[in-house]
Amino acid sequence: MPIIITGIILVIYGILAIYSVSIHESFTLTLKLIAKGNLTWDPSNYFYFLRQIKNIVIAVVMAIWVYAIPLNFFQKNKNVIIIGAILMLLQLSVFIPGIGMTLNGARWWINVPLLPSIQPAEFFKLWYVIFLASWLIRKRDLINQKQFFVSFLVLNGLLFFVFLLIPDLGTLLILGIVALIMCRYAGAKIKYILYILFWWLTAGLLVGSIAGMMSDRFQYIQKRFTYFLSSDVDPQSRQIWRQNQQALIAVGGGWFLGKGYGKGLQKFWYIPEAQSDFIFSAYSEEVGMIGNLFLISLYFYLAYYFLSRLQYIRNEYNKIIWVGIISLIIIQAFVNIWVNIKIMPNTWLTLPFISYGGTAIMVNLIELMILYKILKDK
């Protein structure tokens, strides 16, 4: 039950945060939709809040449905799952470019008529963990041999190449770290982990440099790194600079106890996307360091609870999935927080269980349900 209770607390924390920080974004969006004739009612401060409530209801239904699926189903159908996830991603950049919704130079959602927008990258993270766990089990006898790491580099290079077509650097970063953690847990030696990391970084810098010179779709990534590594602000990077600076002002403005629920000012368009990527900083102004420490302690508790019970799981495949999923949640959470306080460049990654987004909350609850099911079936 601690898993379910912690998940419920995180979701409630996210609902309260979205209710407060999204009022300006909601009003602005509904005003634009009314001007275009897409809405017939008055502008609303609670558009994102009401949509998130709907998203959570759908996510809970999907999580319960996944709980009814036997665990061995994922292992038996891993190839079908990963191929389906790759095809969804390719629709954003290759097969049907027009179907992908573009934001800041990258295509993120598949816009299907009569259905909610789908963010394939969120599903791909989970399917990747399921696929890689099965692949590591099959290769476990060869895990510290050279041919294993060559095949590991080739396999992941092909999978990650898909994200270069979108491009989605944030998801690529998260999956790379999770893959190394899963590989290490499966028995790989540290020297081979460093070997993989070296070749990934070398290939990433080389491919990124070439792609940046040949394609305009990679320019937004270069702007983020240029701003992060330089103190000068050029006009093209001013929007990124403004977003990061206002995020720091919001976090610092909350001080220890915060200004009080609903009393933050940076959410009034000083921080764009306050309800999603920068919800941590926007809400920090209201809840202060106390609220942030409470949120961070929930993530730490999840990690501690799962890892302390790893010894009770006998199935090795389930163990590796367990490690992969909890790594996925915790790493993404702290990458998002580090972006909000400018320790890392902007990655456009959401805060698990907290940020606005239908696909994101759905995948988060499914991940939690899979972890719960693994522990129940130990």
Residue 229, pLDDT score = 61
Q: How confident is the model at residue 95, as a pLDDT?
A: 47
Tell me, what's the pLDDT at 49? 92
> What pLDDT is attached to residue 255?
86
- Given this model, what pLDDT does residue 41 score? 75
Q: Are 286 and 349 in contact (CB under 8 A)?
A: no
Indicate if the pLDDT at residue 116 is higher than 70. no
Find the range with the poorest average confidence among 85-89, 231-235, 249-253, 326-330: 231-235
CB neighbour list of residue 100: distance below 8 Å, 6 or more residues apart: 91, 92, 93, 107, 108, 109, 110, 111
Question: Residues 49-96: pLDDT tens digits?
Answer: 998 999 899 899 989 998 888 877 777 777 777 777 666 666 555 545
Classify the phi-psi angles of 145: left when phi > 0, otherwise alpha if psi is within -120 to 50, otherwise beta. beta
Instruction: Point out the least confidently predicted range of 12-16, 73-77, 229-233.
Output: 229-233
pLDDT at position 303 over 80: yes
Residue 301 has pLDDT above 80, yes or no: yes
Q: Which domain holds residue 278?
A: 2-376
Q: What is the pLDDT of residue 202?
A: 77
pLDDT tens per residue across span 334-364: 999 998 888 877 777 889 999 988 888 999 9
Please tell me the predicted confidence (pLDDT) of residue 106.
47
Mean pLDDT of 284-311: 90
What pLDDT does residue 332 have? 92
Q: And the tokens for 219?
A: 């320019």
pLDDT of residue 24: 86
pLDDT at 331: 92
Return d(Cα 352, Cα 356) in angstroms, integer. Answer: 9
Out of 125-139, 163-177, 255-269, 290-304, least confident range: 163-177
Q: How much is the mean pLDDT over the chain?
A: 79
Rounded CA-CA distance 296/312 in Å is 26
Q: What is the pLDDT of residue 105?
A: 47
| Residue 294, pLDDT score | 94
| H or E, element range at 372 | helix 358-376
Q: What is the mean pLDDT of residues 149-156?
A: 82
Total domains in the chain come to 1
Indicate if the pLDDT at residue 207 is higher than 70.
no
User: Looking at residues 297-310, what average pLDDT do you find?
Assistant: 88
Residue 25 has pLDDT above 50, yes or no: yes
Nearest to 132 by CA among 193, 185, 190: 185
- What's the pLDDT band for 290 if we cut at 50, 70, 90? very high
